[in-house]
Amino acid sequence: MNQPKNSASRRFARRLGWTRNPVCRPVDRIEGTLRLALGLLLATVLAASTWIGFANFAKTSHAADTARAHLHRVSVVLLEDVPTGMSDASSSLGRPGVQARWTLPDGSARVGAVFTREVAHSGDNIVVWMNAFDDPVPPPIDRGDLVVRAALRALATLTLAGLALWLFYGLTRRHLNRRRDAAWTREWLLVSGGWRDRSL
């Protein structure tokens, strides 16, 4: 059973230059094939960037879980207020932010600077992360942040690849348009050369 002349598949084929229409030139077929090839390549890049995102999340998640397994949480008493805007900055820079006091397993007390992302005041009890030596450490990254980082890496990969493909297509299409215009000009000169001026 023949497909209708204006079916979606035939319109798609004509758009790619896969037609016997004599108006469709070889350069048009080249451009159509190029569009299809770049479309398939972009789909491949999309799949690859998604895989990169999942692989990055799995790797960083495993590393975070391993690091978290060697940490524990301890309740401390703040000896000073947490300055506004300092909590996140101190954690991201990798240095303790405020003074606090906590009790060691042997019952002795220790005073030192701790990492915190909470907005708290002097005398408040907060929970912070510490290592096996009961030294304060930055809070481990949570899964939400890991997901965001993996998604951003995948998006960056897809964006760079998409820009590269778009630039390649634009340059190639410019070259093909020059060839197309040159062919039209040659044929126009051949046709117009045989015309006679009948205005006299």
Q: 59-72: per-residue pLDDT in tens?
A: 888 888 888 888 88
Q: Report yes or no: 136 and 130 within 8 Å, Cβ to Cβ.
A: yes
The pLDDT value given to residue 93: 42
Q: Is a pLDDT exceeding 50 seen at residue 87?
A: no
Beta pairing class for 125-130 and 72-78 = antiparallel
**Neighbouring C-beta atoms of residue 112, cutoff 10 Å:** 14
The pLDDT value given to residue 199: 54
The pLDDT value given to residue 167: 93
Average pLDDT in the 97-113 region?
88
**Average pLDDT score over the chain:** 78
Q: Is a pLDDT exceeding 70 seen at residue 10?
A: no
The residue whose two tokens read 């390549």 is 41
Please tell me which residue, 25 or 134, carries the higher pLDDT value.
Answer: 134
User: In the structure encoding, which two tokens stand for residue 182, read together?
Assistant: 């040159």
Q: With the CA atoms of 177, 170, 44 and 145 taken in that order, what torsion angle do they form, in degrees rounded to the nearest 10?
A: -160
Q: With cut-offs at 50, 70 and 90, classify the pLDDT of residue 195.
A: low
Share of the chain above pLDDT 90, in %: 7
Please tell me which residue, 141 or 165, carries the higher pLDDT value.
Answer: 165
Measure the CA–CA gap between 170 and 174, rounded to whole angstroms.
Answer: 6
Residue partners of 184: CB distance under 8 A and separation at least 6:
none
Q: pLDDT tens, 110-152?
A: 998 888 877 888 888 989 989 888 888 888 887 888 888 888 8
Q: Is a pLDDT exceeding 70 seen at residue 42?
A: yes
Share of the chain above pLDDT 70, in %: 76
Helices 143-192 and 26-69, interaxial angle, to 10°?
Answer: 170
Give the SS3 label for residue 47: helix
The pLDDT value given to residue 100: 92
Q: With the CA atoms of 28, 30, 36 and 37 taken in that order, what torsion angle do they form, in degrees rounded to the nearest 10?
A: -160
If phi > 0 it is left, if psi is from -120 to 50 it is alpha, else beta; for residue 126 that is: beta
